[in-house]
Structure 1
Amino acid sequence: MKPAPADLPHWPYPRWIAHRGAGQLAPENTLAAFRLGAQHGYRMFECDAKLSADGVLFLLHDDTLERTTSGQGLGGALPWAALSRLDAGGWHSRTHAGEPPATLDAVARHCLANRFDLNIEIKPSPGLAYVTGEAVGREALRLWAGASGAPPLLSSFEPEALAGARQTAPALPRGLLLETLCEGWLDTALGLGCVAVICDHEHWTAEAMARARQAGLRTLAYTVNEPADVARLEAWGIDGIITDAVDRLSPV
């Protein structure tokens, strides 16, 4: 049985969220992935944002470039002019060879033009958590200024990054990302003024989800790719499901 809701904040987002654009069907964190996810009916997307050496926010999950681009070394150590010339699609398939990296600006404009919602994970380079959070908050305010839809949900595994986002964009919703429900997780989320907790789906329990809801927090889970896991989480009252399986799990 789903727990009775407490006085939860308004939640304008769809339940289904495409992980890094289209999960694994297209090169992650590229506009190609966003377009493919939309073709499968998804209307909300998750992406990873970090700072280039010259202060441009761009999409990259890893600290280093090797796995998902033709570059080498720390992504944040290069200026955007160099990053923009990399191939961010060839590692995935010949179909996507030559796909460029994406800036947060480009992804935001794509989402706004298509009325998509966005979860921006703040993914700072080592030692840059607070300043990256500040930059994401500042840029999100600029990009969504005057927009009629839902604001972006800002999330991070690093409390310092969320604190930075809170400093520059206190009104934007924030979510604490967790690998496990470690001791003090609820107090940390509340202390950062978060509206949601986003945890690895394997570590959510009915009791933990009920605690979050009683505290006024929404609950999301990643990376949920199997129908049995979806059913379990939905029975407990999950608010958001982040998935790679955009071709197998329908958001309708």
Structure 2
Amino acid sequence: MTPPRSWPLARVLAHRCGGLLAPENTLAGLAAAAEAGCGGVEFDVMLSGSGSPVLIHDETLERTTDGHGHVALTRDENLRALDAGTWFDARFAGERVPTLEEAAARCISLGLSVNLEIKPAAGQDEETARVVACRADHLWAGAAVAPLLSSFSELALEVAAQLAPHLPRGLLVDRVPPDWLQRCRRVGAAALHADARYLDRPTVIEAREAGLWVATYTVNDPARAQTLFDWGVDCVITDWPGVVRPAVTQHRSSARYPAGSGAQSC
């Protein structure tokens, strides 16, 4: 039932860099995750209008910056001038939309493992995957732990597999489709990443018996996290890493991850 390799990232990942501790997808979020004792993060990467990989979740700027319009139509110089922090709290005024280069350097310096979601704007699946996979491969070259690339876009995962085959990949789904295993096989995914609201124990067991890791999002209840770990889930992604992390501590006595197994703690 245990996959042939240990899960390579922290077992609790802060959602969108720092969860609800800081503005999402920012360097401040990475610092907050590290300060909270979280050993890893998840964040989203799409392309700017200049073709540069940047950390942002939405295709439009309004929700998380003081800008307007589409990320894919906004050039780097204009994107860098935006405030990506005040919407969350005045303490973060002046926080910028970070580049993937900045985020990678900060994660490596802070010792944070990374689940990098390739998040293409509409119609940019292939180009986004090409740029992000190649850049990630370069930025984390020689790092202790390589990033895991995940995406809802199967085309993006196929492109990433061709360009950076040694970087592990995860297929993102919300409700787990009936053909999830075939899809994972088709894109060469090492992990199934599913919405915790719809994930069930039989699916976790089947995935692990098939040699896949299982990650799940967005888990903010420690009791639910404990249940998921008991089912065999490898990783939970959370908005509240400091609250959910104790579920891992409680779970460490489990025979699935005996001492010295190599699985990272959070």
Report TM bin, short chain. over 0.9
TM-score by length of 1: 0.95
Where does structure 2 lack aligned partners over 5 or more consecutive residues?
Answer: 250-266
Q: Does 1:74 align with 2:70?
A: yes
Change (3 A) 1:162 1:75: same
Query: Secondary structure of 1:24's match?
Result: helix
Please state how far the C-alpha of 1:26 moved relative to its aligned partner.
0.8
Cα deviations by residue, 1:8-56 (Å, 9 ceiling, x for unpaired): 3342222110001111121000000110111110010000000111111
CA distance in 1, matches of 2:76, 2:162: 25
Matched ranges for 1:187-198 at <5 A: 187-198=182-193
Cα deviations by residue, 1:71-109 (Å, 9 ceiling, x for unpaired): 111111111111011000011011111111111100000
CA contact (8 A) 2:12 2:241 kept: no
Query: Secondary structure of 2:203's match?
Result: helix
CA distance in 2, matches of 1:237, 1:106: 34
The residue type equivalent to 1:56 in the other structure is S
CA distance in 2, matches of 1:19, 1:165: 22
Q: Does 1:150 align with 2:145?
A: yes
Give the equivalent residue in structure 2 for 1:98.
94
The residue type equivalent to 1:44 in the other structure is G
Cα deviations by residue, 1:98-138 (Å, 9 ceiling, x for unpaired): 11111110000011122211110001111001111111110
Cα deviations by residue, 1:169-223 (Å, 9 ceiling, x for unpaired): 1111000000111121111011111110010011111110111011110001100
Q: Residue 194 of structure 2 is aligned with which of 199, 202, 222?
A: 199
Q: Does 1:52 align with 2:48?
A: yes
Matched ranges for 1:150-229 at <5 A: 150-229=145-224
Please state how far the C-alpha of 1:250 moved relative to its aligned partner.
2.7
Share of identical aligned residues, percent? 41
TM-score by length of 2: 0.90
Cα deviations by residue, 1:144-170 (Å, 9 ceiling, x for unpaired): 1122x1100000011011112112111
